[in-house]
């Protein structure tokens, strides 16, 4: 899955929701369900997502929306995957990232 977000330090919930084509309420729901997803909050309570948070959201999205896992199944998968050195999702994600960079370089040639 290739999510188009500009490179910057923090993203708003609106930017994240738009990039994943989901409602902001779904992202907030995932925060409650998946303890690994915990964005920083500004003084006025607005969520600030980092690139690490985006990686977690990609994994959650992949498991729930693309692989059809249940919430509990995704939680279990993520918990078990942490015990392994590198899971298949991380490998796929890295390969997609490399592919995107290579395609970007190719366009510039």
- DSSP output for 40-100: EE-TTS-EEB-HHHHHHHHHHHIIIIIS---HHHHHHHHHHHTTSSS-HHHHHHHHHHHHH
What integer pLDDT is reported at residue 80 of this predicted model?
84
According to the model, what pLDDT value does residue 79 have? 86
Whole-model pTM: value is 0.73
The reported pLDDT for the residue numbered 69 is 96
> What's the CA gap between 48 and 56, in Å, rounded?
14
Confidence of residue 109 (pLDDT cuts 50, 70, 90): confident
**Tell me: the pLDDT tens digits for 16-27?**
999 999 999 999
What is the per-residue pLDDT for 87? 67
Residue 10 has pLDDT above 70, yes or no: yes
- Which one of 3.40.50.1220, 1.10.3720.10, 1.10.1660.10, 3.40.50.620 gives the CATH number of domain 13-108? 1.10.1660.10
CA R_g for the chain? 15
């Amino acid at each position: 899955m290739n999510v188009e977000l500009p490179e910057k330090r923090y993203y708003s919930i609106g930017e994240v929701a738009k990039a994943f084509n989901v409602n902001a309420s779904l992202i907030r729901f995932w925060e409650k369900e998946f303890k690994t997803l915990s964005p920083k909050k500004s003084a006025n309570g607005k969520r600030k997502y980092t690139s690490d948070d985006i990686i977690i959201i990609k994994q959650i999205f992949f498991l729930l929306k693309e692989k059809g896992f249940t919430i509990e199944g995704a939680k279990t998968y993520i918990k078990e995957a942490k015990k392994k050195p590198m899971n298949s999702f991380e490998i796929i994600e890295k390969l997609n990232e490399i592919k995107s960079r290579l395609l970007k370089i190719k366009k510039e040639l």
